[in-house]
Structure 1
Amino acid sequence: MSTALDGLRQKIEQVLAFDQPALSVSVVGDQVMVVGDYFLNDEGSAPAPEGPMATFAVRVLFDPAYPSVEPLVYETGGAIPQGRHLNPNNTCCLGVWEQWLVEETDHSVSAFFAGPFRDYFLSQTHYRLHGEWPFGELPHGLDGIVVAYASVLGIDADKKKVVEHLRVFARPGWPRGHWPCPCGNGRRIRACHKIELANLRTAILPAMAKRMLQRIESPH
Structure 2
Amino acid sequence: MQKINLNKDLNEVLEMFPKLKLSEKDKKKSVCGEIAIFDAADNYVDSFDIKVTIPRNYPHGFPLLFETGNKFEHIPDRHISEDGSCCVSSLQESDLVSQKGITIKDFFLRYVIPYLANQLYFDSQEEWANGDYEHGSDGILQYYRELFKMDDIEQVISLLYFFNTKKMNRNDNCFCGSGSKLKRCHLDVYCNIKDFSKTRIEMDLLYLKQLSKKRARKQQNQEL
Partner of 2:106: 111
Partner of 2:32: 35
Q: Is the 8 A contact 1:145 1:216 kept in 2?
A: yes
Partner of 1:208: 196
In structure 2, C-alpha distance between the alignment counterparts of 1:109 and 1:193, rounded to whole Å: 39
1:5-43 deviation digits (Å, cap 9, x = unpaired): 55324313213412x110112443343201000111236
More helix by share: 2
Match of 2:49 among 31, 39, 57: 57
Helix, strand or coil at the partner of 2:89: coil
1:113-139 deviation digits (Å, cap 9, x = unpaired): 112222211111011111111111111
Partner of 1:74: 66
Q: Is the 8 A contact 2:2 2:58 kept in 1?
A: no
In structure 1, C-alpha distance between the alignment counterparts of 2:200 and 2:111, rounded to whole Å: 19
1:100-122 deviation digits (Å, cap 9, x = unpaired): 5659x884333321122222111
Deviation at 1:192, TM superposition (A): 5.0
Q: Is the 8 A contact 2:148 2:156 kept in 1?
A: no
In structure 2, C-alpha distance between the alignment counterparts of 1:108 and 1:159, rounded to whole Å: 35
Aligned residues: 201
TM-score of the aligned structures, taking structure 2 as reference length: 0.73
Moved more, 59-68 or 192-201: 192-201
Moved more, 131-140 or 155-164: 155-164
Give the aligned residue type for 2:45: M
Match of 1:7 among 5, 25, 32: 5
Query: Which residues of structure 1 form unaligned runs of 5+?
Result: none
Q: Is the 8 A contact 1:167 1:209 kept in 2?
A: no
Helix, strand or coil at the partner of 1:208: coil
Helix, strand or coil at the partner of 1:147: helix
Partner of 1:121: 116
Match of 1:95 among 85, 89, 92: 89
Helix, strand or coil at the partner of 2:185: helix
In structure 2, C-alpha distance between the alignment counterparts of 1:218 and 1:167, rounded to whole Å: 11
C-alpha change, 1:132 and 1:125, in structure 2 (3 Å) is same
Helix, strand or coil at the partner of 2:193: coil
1:136-168 deviation digits (Å, cap 9, x = unpaired): 1111111112212333x2423543333333333
In structure 2, C-alpha distance between the alignment counterparts of 1:64 and 1:162, rounded to whole Å: 34
Give the aligned residue type for 1:42: D
Q: CA RMSD in A?
A: 3.1
Q: Is the 8 A contact 1:36 1:57 kept in 2?
A: yes
Once the two structures are aligned, what percentage of the paired residues are identical? 21
Query: Which residues of structure 2 form unaligned runs of 5+?
Result: 208-224
